[in-house]
Structure 1
Amino acid sequence: MNDTEAGTGAFRVRPRLTVLSGPSGVGKSSVLAELRRQQPEIYFSVSATTRKPRPGEVDGVHYHFVAPEKFQRMIADGEFLEHAEFAGNCYGTPRTPVLQALAAGKPALLEIELQGARQVRIAMPEAQLVMLAPPSWDDLVVRLTGRGTEDPAVVERRLEIAREELAAEKEFDEVVVNGDVRAAAAHLLSLMVGPQSQEFDE
């Protein structure tokens, strides 16, 4: 076992990238915030985007904000693990910081949409894909329609996309059901470090 396999700090795991995906409204942000609380040593990937910062967003913390021309150069240079365009803006996952975290022995987590997860599967076949799912379809519908302040057509489109994403469950290695945020975060953490830590404790 070398130092990279052993990792650093509290981890005794073989570094691996975990990709978390799931439909809108399933609670990804809440689960990731709880995961940070439970294990702050995990590396959380920061995406690059061509959109303008929103009030309160910090460059390098929430996103890496880059000009469209630079983003296109990054694509041409193969700097992204995955990238996509959404609502007129481009988003992508820089490859180098993820690889550096893994080389340092830190489990890395990337939260992206289904299409991005599929790209990562091709770029890094060893990555672990995890779907965050609602307790039931009815529960997700309530989460997406509960506010009642959005255009019904927009809500229906979100539900349609959610159906497509949940139908892709078989493409994922694991499924975490978010019925309780703390429990879901603990389950995700165990998938990232539990089984592998046992491997190196033998």
Structure 2
Amino acid sequence: MAFHEVRLPARLAFGSTGGVERRTDVVTLASGFERRSTPWAMGRRRYLIGANLRSLTDMAELTAFFEARRGRLYGFRFRDFADYASCTPGETPAATDQALGIGNGTRTAFPLVKAYGDVVRPIAKPVEGTVRVEVGGVELASEAFSVNAATGMVTLDAAAGAGMPVTAGFLFDTPVRFDADRLEVTLESFGAGRMAAVPLIELRV
């Protein structure tokens, strides 16, 4: 998949709106009962950014970022300020935040995930240097494991013992792409303007 490991500058996203969406197929039967199903195992996030930008400098920076991604062609990292940590936003991630799996004595690789009730979301874009890992109730030193920041895979230097829980805490970005092939900017005065909201959509990676 075409993806650039670069994050949209946070100040260009101030005032953004968005959230998670689901796809549900609803069929109403002749009896009035409903039959509901979904083809999606996971929700998908959508955002609108740029509507609060007024500085021509900021709008030029967003335009340059858009051009560098070739519009919708390349994905990139986005900090969703409502959901960017293994813990509640505003708290500090702890190594016990999310369950990654159970050791079996030979397994060393564990993908990062975040649970929303019984729905488990893969986390593919952790923020480098923020991942903390615990095995069997003991937090590991940073030298005892490695993290692939492009895939979210944690690799332990030594396999977790059989039955030992592996947990982690971290910050993460949401992989997205632009969901439009054009930007619209209105010049309102010298040095100031207005940009139409720019849509982003989450990528499955």
TM-score with structure 2 setting the length:
0.25
Structure 1 or 2: more helix by fraction = 1
Q: Which has the larger radius of gyration?
A: 2
* Structure with bigger RCO (C-alpha 8 Å, 6+ apart): 1
TM-score with structure 1 setting the length:
0.25
